[in-house]
């Protein structure tokens, strides 16, 4: 047991060796031996000494010495199942480093021991520099690279070391330059030949199973070649006026939740007047019921004799489709926020305040809420595109409830960012809302500065026309199940949608910093929609 | 690695036994078909095999004993050194690091029947396998009928199947090449003379390649492969076959192969091509008493019986045998340091790739022995039912 543990402790310096670092920490076995080989000797000498470090090493500590301790802690239980250390005298090349690690470490490290160091010794020893490739292998934390990759890496690492002034003189196992060069050339040549002889022979071939196995073995839990997604985003199909079709790709992700309670209070206080007004807004779910009205003739026509004449039965009855409140269904409130770079700080502030108001006002209602900010941004390294960031989505955001979702508004940028694709993003958000609403009603609130951008250049239309097409297509598809409201932020004059959408609220530029004034406008809006909805609710 | 003590009839100036050379096909050109130039395939492949053998000698030395700078240089030289190879139509200079030239030579010399496969071993070094393949265009698998060279340590999980890269895809091939020498001996015993293409022209054993001399050994292997092994062997059998092999259950293996043959094979076609060498193949070369008994009885079966066998009885017996195997896998084995009871299937599936390490211990377990006896009896019953359907 002692010898096996001794061997494990010897192995524990290997991460430093493999990574080419000089272990200069104050570990027990390395304190007096700053050089790896000497450290290995010291570790052997310390056989039987209890390791002073903790059994569990924090993963956050990343210095070499902590890695060594971690290796030791892991290897100690394994010592019982390892073969005994060979005690008879034999070349260090077979004793110190197991075959695999010696093979994958700096080739010069396997040449002789420090006492053998010196040009005379190495001139002979360097001729036996390669250990058996299939020798016994200790458990390793990380799979080593394949042989050709390793040999390449060794050569590169050695070249770097040579570039460091005085490094060669510091090494006790210093090999004469000529021998090292000779060895390196041999290794490099073999590595290149192996790659040519065993690599995939043609580009069109499938990956061979041995290469696939090796690749999977070396990459651990990294995604394999069978993983992946050809299109990471969502493909959105758009059908413009004249039935011209176009498609685009769009990505979505949730907004991070804010952690600042002070900012939460400030925004809540600012949005309170708007929230209070919006609480009165009603969002009934409507259903369309076909009804048959019986008609009865009157006046000079005798209803008793009429049915003897030849005439259509339609005169007796009339078909109507009547809208009624469906108390079973839950409508969806979709809040689409334009977050593009054209929004200035004040517009963005008002956008957050209004979003807050709408989300908070529906907190105790049965209505389902979807809120998203659409703009563009980085998806990942090397990929950017149109982006929808969900402020609240029952299935896609980490927030527990709508109260929690309000925290997402804290992390929104102070000004708009990126370039938005209006029609593309609205189409995607509406399709998400449709999936949630099923056959129920959708209330779409669009907060925008009305600076529309083109999404589908192939259609040859302006951004405004694309948005018009979007609304038109949405109305055609959903009919009365869609109710739209545009909140134009910082717009003077008309938006162009006044006769097109159900409601348009214009927040003038000077009102952007005054939530009270905006609340008054919102109050008018609420009052205008309340009448129709009350009538529906009362069943008239 | 290749051992052919009696000489290769293919290498005696004959046309190859496989590939498009044995078809009298003019390609639609209207010109009369010109047979490809004869070639001594042994002599043509000898330089390449010598190079591989030298390389593998050094590789194994480096893997097992280590080496020095010289061995690295020698290995590099052997991999890069051009080898002069004589094809049917031209001379090639190829090296192990020049796959295009190698492939061109092999296609020329073997008429697209030779396959050189390279695999990277755990040590990172390449290993080689050179074989000859006979396509079976009507079946799922192509057949490996002859091995020319196999590097030591070349990975081959199941000796019955081998992965070969063909047309950019890795496909399973049935490996019948291990039976080649025994097949040759059997045919010689049967005919009382040395097997050459001149003594056994085509048509003696089968119906392929009229008018051209055909290697009889190839022909018999092809007949056995196409009509029996294509149906009797399948990758899905791996668990049952490995368990039978390692736990000493020979009857189970025989029953599995016989059932698959009856379920997947064309028994009418098999009855039509059945010959004495084919029956003896399963008695002397690939010793499979169940299939041998079945083949001996097969000419007596009429169409109704064959239909009954494949459509009804084999399916029922397959379910029965599967049930018996399932009960066998459910057996609790006293295992480990604490001798806790572990179901056999856990041990089998967890160690499927290294079953030889635990097979001895498992065989000694009384519970496994008893369950194995029951399973063998069920397998024997299956065989009897199949062989004697009346």
| Three-state SS sequence of A190-221 | HHHHHHHHHCCCCCCCCCCHHHHHHHHHHHCC
Q: Which position has the token pair 């080689």?
A: B128
**Token pair of A493 as six digits:** 């004059």
- Mutate which: B79, B96, B122, B124, vs A, most A CBs within 10 A: B124
Edge-to-edge order in the sheet of strand B169-175 = B114-120, B126-134, B142-150, B169-175, B161-166
Place B283 in a pLDDT band, splitting at 50, 70 and 90: very high
Using CA atoms, how far apart are residues A101 and A136, in angstroms rounded to an integer? Answer: 10
Residue B23, pLDDT above cutoff 50: no
Interface A:B, Cβ pairs < 8 A: 105
Here the ipTM equals 0.77
How far, in Å, CA of A11 to CA of A410, rounded?
52
B137 and B254 both lie in a single domain? no
How far apart CA A457 and CA B92 sit, in angstroms, is 57
Asked whether the predicted pLDDT for residue B296 surpasses 80, the reply is yes
User: Is the distance from CB of B209 to CB of B22 less than 8 angstroms?
Assistant: yes
User: What is the rounded CA–CA span in Å between residue A79 and residue A229?
Assistant: 43
The answer, as to whether pTM is greater than 0.80, is no
Phi, psi of B174 (to 5 degrees): -80, 130
CA-wise closest residue to A281 among A335, A210, A217, A221: A335
Residue B372, token pair as written in the block: 């194995």
Domain final position from B161, B191, B221: B191
Q: Are residues B71 and B136 in the same domain?
A: yes
What gap in Å lies between CA A505 and CA A486, rounded to an integer?
6
Contacts of B66 in chain A (CB under 8 A): 93-94, 99, 128, 130-133, 135
> A129 and B69: CB-CB below 8 Å?
yes
Min Cα–Cα distance to chain B from A19, Å: 20
pLDDT computed for residue A129 by the predictor: 57
Q: What are phi and psi of A10, to 5 degrees?
A: -65, -40
Residue B189 structure tokens: 């015993």
Banded pLDDT at A289 (limits 50, 70, 90): confident
Evaluate whether residue B173 is within a structural domain: yes
Is A17 or B72 the better-scoring residue by pLDDT? B72
* Mean pLDDT on B235-249: 89
More confident residue, B57 or A90: B57
Residue B241 tokens read as: 């076959």
Give the DSSP H/E element, type plus range, for residue A64.
helix A64-78
Q: Does A107 touch chain B (CB under 8 A)?
A: no
What residue of A is the nearest CA neighbor of B100? A201
Token couple for A409: 């508004």
Percent residues over pLDDT 90 in chain A: 16
Q: Does residue A311 sit at the B interface (CB-CB below 8 Å)?
A: no
Which candidate, A267, A280, A318, places its Cα nearest to that of A297? A318
| Of B97, B116, B227, B110, the residue nearest B165 (C-alpha) | B116
Can you give the residue range of the structural domain that contains B258? 234-387
Q: Which residue do the tokens 């690295």 mark? A: B72
Instruction: For residue B99, list chain A residues with Cβ-Cβ distance below 8 A.
Output: 201-202
pLDDT of residue A169: 46
Nearest to B280 by CA among B268, B296, B260, B265: B296
Q: Is B380 found in the same domain as B255?
A: yes
pLDDT at site A305:
57
What is the full DSSP assignment across A3-21?
HHHHHHHHHTTHHHHHHT-
- Cβ separation B96–A197 shorter than 8 A: yes
SS3 A261: helix
Please state whether A460 falls in left (phi above 0), alpha (psi between -120 and 50) or beta. left
B288 part of a folded domain: yes
Chain B contact residues (CB < 8 Å to A): 62-73, 75-76, 79-80, 96-100, 103, 118-126, 155, 163, 165, 168-170
Indicate the residue of A134, A205, A214 with minimum beta-carbon distance to B63: A134
Does residue A429 contact residue A334 with C-beta atoms inside 8 Å? yes
Q: Where are the alpha helices (DSSP H) in A146-260?
A: 147-163, 167-170, 177-198, 209-219
Q: Is the pLDDT at B13 greater than 50, yes or no?
A: no
- Whole-number pLDDT of residue B379: 95
- Asked whether the beta carbons of residue B126 and residue A194 sit closer than 8 angstroms, the reply is yes
Specify whether the CB–CB gap between A482 and A344 falls below 8 A.
no
Beta strands B340-343 and B169-175: pairing type? unpaired
Which residue out of B66, B151, B235 would a mutagenesis test of the A interface target, given it has the greatest number of A Cβ atoms within 10 Å? Answer: B66
Whether the per-residue pLDDT at A510 is higher than 70: the answer is: yes
The residue ranking higher by pLDDT, A117 or B240, is B240
pLDDT (tens digit per residue) in A163-203: 444 444 444 445 556 666 777 788 888 888 988 888 777 66
Evaluate whether residue B350 is within a structural domain: yes
Residues B248 and B362 in one domain: yes
Mean pLDDT, residues A477-505: 88
The answer on B152 and B64 residing in a single domain is: yes
Note the pLDDT tens digit of each residue in A199-238: 777 667 788 888 888 777 776 677 666 665 555 688 888 8
Q: The tokens 């402790």 sit on which residue?
A: A9
Of B62, B97, B118, the CB nearest to A130: B62
Q: How many domains does chain B have?
A: 2
Beta-carbon separation of A193 and B75 below 8 A = yes
pLDDT band per the 50, 70, 90 thresholds, residue A403 = confident
Whether B66 sits inside 8 A of A190 (CB atoms) is: no
Q: Are residues B36 and B104 in the same domain?
A: yes
Note whether B41 and B109 are within 8 A (CB).
Answer: yes
CB A99 within 8 Å of CB A135: yes
Q: B63 and A183 in contact by Cβ < 8 A? A: no
* Cβ–Cβ contact A196 with B under 8 A: yes
**What is the per-residue pLDDT for B22?**
44
Domain finish residue from B122, B157, B191:
B191
Q: Please work out, in degrees rounded to the nearest 5, the angle formed at the alpha carbon of residue A77 by the alpha carbons of A71 and A79.
A: 85
Verify that B41 and B182 share a domain, yes or no: yes
Q: Residues in chain B, how many?
A: 390
Contact of A193 with chain B, judged by CB distance below 8 Å, is answered with: yes
Question: Residue B226: inside a domain, yes or no?
Answer: no
Return d(Cα A347, Cα A361) in angstroms, integer: 21
* A412 SS3 class: coil
What residues in B contact A190, CB-CB < 8 Å?
A: 72-73, 75-76, 79
Minimal-distance CA residue of chain A relative to B117: A198
Using the 3D structure, point to which of B191, B223, B258 is the last residue of a domain.
Answer: B191
CA distance A112 to A102: 12
Q: Does residue A437 belong to the interface with chain B, where contact is any CB pair within 8 Å?
A: no
Whether chain B has a CB inside 8 Å of the CB on A251: the answer is: no
Q: What are phi and psi of A292, to 5 degrees?
A: -115, 120
Task: Verify whether the Cβ–Cβ distance B97 to A196 is below 8 Å.
Answer: yes
Q: How far does A28 lie from chain B, in Å, by closest CA?
A: 33
**CB proximity list for A297: less than 8 A, separation 6 or greater:** A303, A306, A315
Query: Is the CATH number of domain A257-283+329-538 3.40.50.410?
Result: yes
Residues of B in contact with A92 (CB under 8 A): none
Q: Where in chain A is the domain with CATH 3.40.50.410?
A: 257-283+329-538
- The owner of tokens 């192995």 is A11
Tell me whether residue B201 is in a domain.
Answer: no
DSSP class of residue A322 equals E
What are the C-alpha distances in Å from B53 to residues A170, A194, B75, B82, B152?
Answer: 44, 16, 12, 15, 9
Facing residue for A198 by CB, picked from B66, B72, B118 = B118
pLDDT at A23: 38
Rounded Cα–Cα distance for residues B154 and B164 (Å): 12
CB atoms < 10 A from the CB of B74, how many? 20
Instruction: State the pairing for strand pair B142-150/B126-134.
Output: antiparallel
Phi and psi angles of residue B77, each rounded to the nearest 5 degrees, phi first = -65, -45
Report the candidate in A400, A518, A407, A421 with the shortest Cα–Cα distance to residue A466.
A421
Q: Is B196 among the domain residues?
A: no
Interface mutation vs chain B, best among A93, A190, A214, most B CBs within 10 Å: A190
**B223 vs B203: CA distance, rounded Å:** 12
Whether residue A128 and residue B79 make contact (CB cut-off 8 A), yes or no, is: no
Nearest-angstrom CA–CA distance, B60 and B56? 6
Computed over every residue of chain A, the mean pLDDT equals 72
Alpha carbons A180 and A398: distance in angstroms, whole number: 58
* Same structural domain, B173 and B39: yes
- pLDDT tens figures, A405-431: 899 999 998 888 888 899 999 999 999
B143 shares its domain with B25? yes
Angle between helices B41-65 and B99-110 (to 10 degrees): 140
A149 to chain B, minimum CA–CA distance in Å?
9
Helical segments of chain B, H only? 41-65, 69-80, 99-110, 180-191, 216-224, 230-232, 238-246, 250-264, 267-273, 276-280, 289-297, 303-307, 314-329, 344-350, 355-364, 366-387
Residue B53 and residue B56: Cα distance in Å, rounded? Answer: 5
Measured CA to CA, the distance from residue B123 to residue B60 in angstroms comes to 10
Residue in chain B nearest A136 by alpha carbon? B64
The helix/strand/coil state of B288 is coil
CB A236 within 8 A of CB A424: yes
Q: How many CB atoms lie within 10 A of CB B240?
A: 20
Of B72, B100, B103, the CB nearest to A190: B72
A211 touching B (Cβ < 8 Å): yes
Q: Which residues are within 8 A (CB) of A304 and not within 5 positions of it... i.e. 6 or more apart?
A: none
pLDDT at residue B104 greater than cutoff 50? yes
Q: Which pLDDT belongs to residue A424?
A: 93
What pLDDT is stored for residue B378 in this prediction? 94
Which band of pLDDT confidence, cut at 50, 70 and 90, is reported for residue A29? very low
Residue of chain B minimizing CA distance to A190:
B76
The pLDDT-based confidence of B209 (bands split at 50, 70, 90) is very low
Specify whether B51 is located in the same domain as B163. Answer: yes
Question: In the predicted model, what is the mean pLDDT of residues B135-163?
Answer: 88
pLDDT of residue B30: 54
What was the pLDDT predicted at A330? 81
The residue of chain B with its CA nearest to that of A204 is B168
Residue in A127, A147, A209 closest to B170 by CB:
A209
Q: Choose the closest CB to B69 out of A127, A131, A135.
A: A127
Whether the per-residue pLDDT at A43 is higher than 70: the answer is no
Given this model, what pLDDT does residue A104 score?
Answer: 42
Would you call A127 an interface residue with chain B, using a CB distance cutoff of 8 Å? yes
Q: Strand B83-86 relative to strand B114-120: parallel, antiparallel, unpaired?
A: unpaired
Is the pLDDT at A495 greater than 80? The verdict is: yes
**pLDDT band at B152, cuts 50/70/90?**
very high
Please state the rounded mean pLDDT for residues A269-289.
80
Q: CB-based burial of residue A317 (10 Å sphere; 0-12 exposed, 13-18 middle, 19+ buried)?
A: exposed
Q: How confident is the model at residue A153 (pLDDT cuts 50, 70, 90)?
A: low
Residue whose tokens read 């030579």:
B105
Residue A31 CA to residue A383 CA, distance in Å, equals 48
pLDDT tens-place string over residues B107-122: 888 888 899 999 988 8
> What is the average pLDDT across B38-67?
89
3-state secondary structure B335-349: ECCCCEEEEHHHHHH
Do residue B343 and residue B280 come from a single domain? Answer: yes
């Amino acid at each position: 047991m002692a010898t096996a543990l001794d061997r494990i402790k010897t192995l524990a310096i290997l991460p430093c060796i493999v990574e080419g670092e000089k272990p200069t920490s104050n570990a027990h076995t390395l304190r007096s031996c700053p050089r790896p080989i000497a450290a290995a000797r010291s570790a052997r000498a310390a056989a039987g000494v209890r390791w002073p470090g903790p059994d569990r090493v924090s993963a956050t500590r990343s210095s070499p010495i902590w890695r060594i301790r971690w290796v030791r802690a892991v290897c100690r239980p394994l010592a019982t199942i390892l073969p005994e250390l060979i005690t008879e005298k034999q070349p260090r090349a077979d004793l110190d480093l197991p075959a695999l690690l010696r093979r994958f470490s700096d080739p010069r490290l396997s040449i002789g021991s420090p006492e053998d160091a010196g040009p005379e010794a190495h001139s002979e020893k360097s001729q036996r520099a390669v250990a058996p490739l299939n020798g016994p292998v200790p458990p390793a934390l990380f799979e080593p690279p394949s042989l050709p990759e390793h040999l390449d890496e060794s050569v590169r690492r050695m070249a770097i070391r040579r570039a460091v002034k005085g490094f060669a003189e510091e090494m006790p196992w210093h090999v004469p330059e000529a021998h090292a060069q000779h060895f390196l050339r041999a290794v490099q040549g073999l590595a290149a030949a192996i790659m040519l002889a065993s690599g995939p022979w043609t580009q069109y071939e499938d990956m061979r199973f041995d290469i696939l196995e090796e690749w999977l073995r070396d990459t651990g839990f990294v995604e394999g070649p069978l993983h992946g997604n050809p299109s990471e985003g969502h493909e959105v199909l758009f059908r413009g006026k004249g039935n011209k079709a176009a498609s685009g790709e769009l990505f979505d992700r949730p907004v991070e939740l804010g952690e600042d309670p002070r900012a939460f209070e400030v925004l809540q206080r600012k949005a309170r007047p708007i929230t209070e007004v919006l609480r009165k807004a009603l969002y009934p779910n409507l259903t369309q019921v076909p009804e048959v009205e019986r008609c009865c003739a009157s006046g000079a026509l005798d209803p008793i004799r009429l049915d003897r004449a030849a005439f259509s039965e339609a005169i007796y009855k009339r078909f109507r489709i009547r809208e009624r409140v469906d108390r079973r269904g839950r409508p969806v409130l979709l809040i689409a926020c334009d977050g593009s770079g054209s929004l200035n700080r004040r517009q963005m502030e008002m956008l957050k305040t209004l979003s807050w108001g709408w989300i908070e006002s529906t907190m105790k209602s049965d209505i389902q809420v979807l809120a998203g900010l659409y703009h563009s941004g980085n998806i990942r390294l090397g990929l950017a595109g149109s982006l929808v960031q969900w402020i609240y989505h029952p299935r896609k955001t980490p927030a527990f409830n709508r109260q929690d979702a309000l925290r997402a508004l804290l992390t929104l940028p102070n000004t708009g960012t990126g370039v938005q694709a209006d029609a593309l993003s609205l189409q995607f958000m509406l399709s998400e809302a449709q999936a949630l609403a099923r056959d129920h009603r959708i209330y779409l609130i669009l907060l925008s500065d009305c600076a529309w951008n083109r999404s589908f250049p192939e259609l040859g239309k302006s951004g405004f026309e694309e948005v018009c097409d979007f609304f038109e297509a949405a109305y055609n598809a959903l009919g009365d199940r869609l109710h739209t409201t545009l909140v134009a932020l910082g717009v003077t004059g008309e938006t162009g949608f006044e006769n097109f959408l159900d409601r348009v609220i214009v927040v003038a530029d000077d009102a952007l910093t005054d939530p009270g004034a905006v609340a008054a406008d919102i109050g008018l809006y609420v009052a205008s929609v309340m009448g129709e909805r009350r009538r529906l609710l009362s069943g008239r | 690695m290749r051992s052919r003590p009696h000489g290769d009839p293919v290498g005696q100036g004959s046309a190859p036994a496989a590939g498009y050379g044995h078809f009298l096909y003019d390609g639609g050109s209207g010109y009369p078909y010109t047979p490809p130039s004869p070639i001594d395939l042994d002599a043509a492949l000898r330089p390449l095999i010598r190079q591989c053998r030298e390389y593998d000698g050094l590789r194994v030395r480096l893997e097992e004993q280590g080496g020095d700078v010289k061995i690295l240089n020698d290995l590099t030289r052997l991999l890069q050194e051009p080898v002069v190879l004589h094809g049917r139509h031209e001379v090639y200079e190829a090296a192990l690091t020049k796959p295009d030239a190698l492939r061109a030579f092999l296609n020329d010399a073997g008429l697209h029947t030779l396959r050189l496969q390279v695999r990277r071993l755990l040590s990172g070094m390449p290993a080689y396998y050179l074989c000859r393949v006979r396509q079976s265009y009507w079946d799922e698998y192509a057949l490996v009928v002859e091995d020319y060279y196999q590097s030591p340590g070349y990975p081959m999980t199941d000796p019955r199947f081998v992965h070969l890269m063909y047309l950019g895809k890795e496909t399973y091939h049935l490996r019948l090449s291990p039976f080649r020498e025994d097949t040759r001996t059997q045919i010689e015993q049967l005919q009382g003379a040395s097997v050459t293409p001149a003594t056994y022209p085509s048509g003696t054993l089968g119906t392929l390649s009229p008018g051209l001399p055909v290697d009889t050994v190839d022909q018999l292997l092809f007949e056995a492969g196409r009509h029996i092994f294509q149906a009797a062997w399948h990758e899905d059998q791996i668990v049952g076959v490995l368990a039978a092999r390692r736990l000493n259950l020979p009857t189970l293996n025989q029953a599995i192969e016989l059932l698959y043959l009856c379920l997947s094979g064309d028994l009418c076609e098999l009855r039509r091509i059945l010959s004495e060498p084919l029956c003896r193949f399963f008695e002397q070369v690939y010793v499979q008493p169940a299939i041998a008994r079945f083949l001996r009885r097969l000419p007596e079966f009429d169409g109704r019986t064959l239909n009954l066998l494949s459509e009804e009885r084999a399916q029922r017996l397959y379910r029965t045998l599967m049930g018996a195997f399932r009960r066998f896998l459910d057996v609790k084995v006293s295992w480990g340091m604490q001798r806790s009871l572990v179901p056999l299937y856990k041990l089998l599936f967890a160690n499927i790739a290294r079953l030889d390490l635990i097979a001895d211990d498992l065989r000694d377990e009384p519970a496994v022995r008893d369950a194995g006896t029951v399973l063998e009896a069920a397998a024997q019953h299956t065989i009897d039912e199949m062989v004697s359907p009346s």
